[in-house]
Amino acid sequence: MFLIFKRLWQVNWAEQWQYRANLLMYLLYWLVSPIIYLAVWTSIATANGDVKGFTANDFITYYMVLLICDQVTSNIVIHTFGYKIQDGSLSGELIKPIHPMLTNALVNNVAFKILTMFGLTPIWIILFFLFQPDFSSVTLTGILLAIPAMMLAFLIGYFQSAAITALAFWTTRVYSIHEFYFALILLFSGQFVPLPLMPQLIQDIAQYLPFQLMLYYPIQLILGNLSTEQIIQGYVMTGVWLVISWLIFNWVWRKGVKKYSAVGA
Amino acid sequence: MTPTISVQQLSKTYEVPEREGGFSAAVRSFFKRKYKDVKAVQEVNFNIEQGEVVGFLGPNGAGKTTTLKMLSGLLHPTSGTANVLGFTPWELKNDYLRSMTLVMGQRNRLSWDIPAADSFLLNQAIYRIPDDEYKETYKELDELLELEPLMKKPVRNLSLGERMKCEIAVGLLHRPKVLFLDEPTIGLDITGQARIREFLQEYNKRTGATIILTSHYMADVTALCERIIIIHHGQLKYDGGINDLSKKIAPFKLIGVLMENADAHDLSQYGEPVENMEDADKKFIQVKADEVTRITSRLLADLPIRDITIADPPIEDVIEQAFNA
């Protein structure tokens, strides 16, 4: 199994490398909105002294960390896999003795991430010099706690996106369903604004949803803003959502493959 | 001995959505879709023994590919059973997937953007082929197909024939016991076709693998298969030796003539006129094989002929004739 992942890595890395220019465009597009939020909130906080207790530095550090967390926890499976179901090129992969979604597509996502990370680094450094954040609250423990949390959150997101992608077995409109899912992430993950600035109702709902685990929770872990109790609670939620997301994905995938082989692969 | 492939009452019916053209029909179909059942394969039975090379013949839409897809496990049948190497194919058991191969079209196992060599190594890992066995198999395939010069180029830069060679080779790395080949020579030139044919023959001889192939080219089938199965409108029409079939249908040849003022001459007195879409300039007649010489000389004597061709009728026509007559 290790060898399979190693070879998959070599192939996918080489493939992503072929599309590096494309990937850079994608990265820039992706970076636009967090950087705008960063600039807008920082200037508001600077003008007012603070926004509901958030100082300018709070916003700067929040969004600077968000840029990294977002890279780690997001995925592009809908774009790299959806069409395979629709145009039938999945057939070739289905008759191989490995799970297409849990091997090739997964490694493909990771290769994509690592390559975009190279693109992000210089941009992040420029932002660092532009905004000069004060990261004094960041501790090594916080970072070490955040790394597994982000990896698990990536898997949660991956299984959920993969389940939505697998809806392509039934409908050709998966992309709009995924857009809706993406809107939920935008709203409940803390991407727009740090969750405490949201209306109380949204905060209450967000607490139980998986989306804040992808951004808000790891950001707060890194920034050292959580109590021990909150850290444990976050990890428990991560575990629960990981299991739920896995079960949903597995169920949809099985049904989908059955459907695929019934109507004509 | 139990046969390698055994198929009983295998059927596949597709539900195809259907509607009239136009706006109101589009609206109606939004609320209530009509479906039409298309019987792609109907109650097909056959057994294939280990080491046999069997050709599937039939016109487009006859059900050849559907049958291959069911046997390789990609499709669930509507009813009936199939057993290949002791497995039910559509359960997609990994042990089954590791012992067969399906080669379909030119973009299957090879990754488009990277050299074929990388895809080969990936497949080695996926099929858990030990290094020494991999090297040996690769050496053999390289001998037969001359792969080495192609290995380092990105697949997108290979020609159609080169790509097909690599597709077939990568599908055989794990030494499958059963090969399903859907149109393995399609789009290749004559030399390319011959190459693939020779290779398959040699492979079958060396490994004793069972091969089922579909093809539009009669030459593929006559060169490779001692046995053919003809499927037409989803039904099995013929299953037996290729020689027996040619006795039944070979009596016909197709004579094509190019003449001055073609429409002024009636060819029906020489043989049965046949429509041929591919070569609109010529007129075609079909005659019995043993009368070809006689009729050709009559044509040459009687008519202002500029060019004349004698050929086997296309396989589709042969099958149509043999079974619809």
Rg (CA), chain B: 23
Verify whether the Cβ–Cβ distance A11 to B114 is below 8 Å: yes
Q: Which residue of B has its CA nearest to A99?
A: B94
Contacts 24+ apart (CB under 8 A), A80-86: A80/A105, A80/A108, A80/A109, A80/A112, A81/A105, A81/A162, A81/A165, A82/A165, A82/A168, A82/A174, A82/A175, A82/A178, A85/A165, A85/A166, A85/A168, A85/A169, A85/A256, A85/A260, A86/A168, A86/A172
Q: Do B5-247 and B250-324 have matching folds?
A: no
pLDDT in tens for each of the 325 residues of chain B?
789 999 999 999 988 777 777 777 777 777 777 788 888 899 999 999 999 999 998 777 888 889 999 999 999 999 999 999 999 999 999 999 999 999 886 556 788 888 999 999 999 999 999 999 999 999 988 988 889 999 999 888 988 888 888 988 999 999 999 999 988 888 777 888 888 888 899 999 989 999 999 887 777 888 889 898 988 888 888 888 877 776 666 567 888 888 877 777 788 888 888 876 567 778 888 888 788 889 888 888 888 888 888 887 766 566 666 666 4
User: Residue A49 — left, alpha, or beta (φ > 0 → left; ψ -120 to 50 → alpha)?
Assistant: left
Verify whether the Cβ–Cβ distance A7 to B124 is below 8 Å: yes
Verify whether the Cβ–Cβ distance A95 to B125 is below 8 Å: no
Cβ of residue A7 closer than 8 Å to a chain B Cβ:
yes
What pLDDT shows up at residue B84?
A: 96
Q: Collect all residues with Cβ–Cβ distance below 8 Å to B232 and sequence separation of at least 6.
A: B58, B59, B62, B319, B320, B323
Of A10, A97, A265, the CB nearest to B74: A265
Verify whether the Cβ–Cβ distance A95 to B72 is below 8 Å: yes
Q: For residue B200, which of B188, B67, B156 has the smallest C-alpha distance?
A: B188
The CATH class of B5-247 is alpha beta
Q: Is the pLDDT of residue A243 over 90?
A: yes
What pLDDT shows up at residue B323?
A: 61
- Residues of B within 8 A of A263 (CB-CB) are 14-15
Among all chains, which residue has been given the structure tokens 């803390």?
Answer: A190
Residues A53-95 have pLDDT tens digits of 899 999 999 999 999 999 999 999 999 899 888 888 888 888 8
Residues A140-192 have pLDDT tens digits of 999 999 999 999 999 999 999 999 999 999 988 899 999 999 999 999 999 88
How do the domains of chain B map onto residue ranges? 5-247, 250-324
Note whether ipTM > 0.90 here: no
Cβ atoms < 10 Å from Cβ of B19: 14
What pLDDT shows up at residue B161?
A: 83
- Residues A83-112 as b or e (16 or more Cβ within 10 Å = b): bbbeeeebbbbbbbbbebbebbbbbbbbbb
Task: Kindly write down the DSSP assignment for every residue of B169-216, as one continuous string.
Answer: HHHHTT--SEEEEESTTTT--HHHHHHHHHHHHHHHHHH--EEEEE-S
Give dist(CA A217, CA B51) in Å, integer. Answer: 61
Give A256 or A20, the one with higher predicted confidence. Answer: A256
Average pLDDT rounded to a whole number, residues A12-27: 87
- Residues of B within 8 A of A7 (CB-CB) are 118, 121-122, 124-126
Q: Is the pLDDT of residue A127 over 90?
A: yes
CA distance A161 to chain B (A): 24
Verify whether the Cβ–Cβ distance A11 to B118 is below 8 Å: yes
Pick among A17, A95, A102, A258 to test the B interface (most B CBs inside 10 A): A95
Say if residues A157 and A74 touch (Cβ distance below 8 Å): yes
User: Which residues 19-58 of A have a C-beta within 8 angstroms of B?
Assistant: 19
What pLDDT shows up at residue B23?
A: 76
Cβ of residue A172 closer than 8 Å to a chain B Cβ:
no
Q: Which residue of A has its CA nearest to B97?
A: A97
CA distance A70 to chain B (A): 28
For residue B286 the two structure tokens come to 């079909």
Verify whether the Cβ–Cβ distance B73 to A95 is below 8 Å: yes
Residues A185-237 have pLDDT tens digits of 999 999 888 999 999 999 999 999 999 999 999 999 999 999 999 999 999 99
Verify whether the Cβ–Cβ distance A265 to B69 is below 8 Å: yes
Please give the CATH architecture assigned to the domain spanning B250-324.
2-Layer Sandwich (3.30)
Q: Is the pLDDT of residue A265 over 60?
A: no
What pLDDT shows up at residue B15?
A: 81
Backbone angles phi, psi at A73, to 5 degrees: -90, -15
Average pLDDT of chain B, as a whole number: 85
What pLDDT shows up at residue B16?
A: 79
Of B66, B73, B125, the CB nearest to A7: B125
Verify whether the Cβ–Cβ distance A11 to B104 is below 8 Å: no
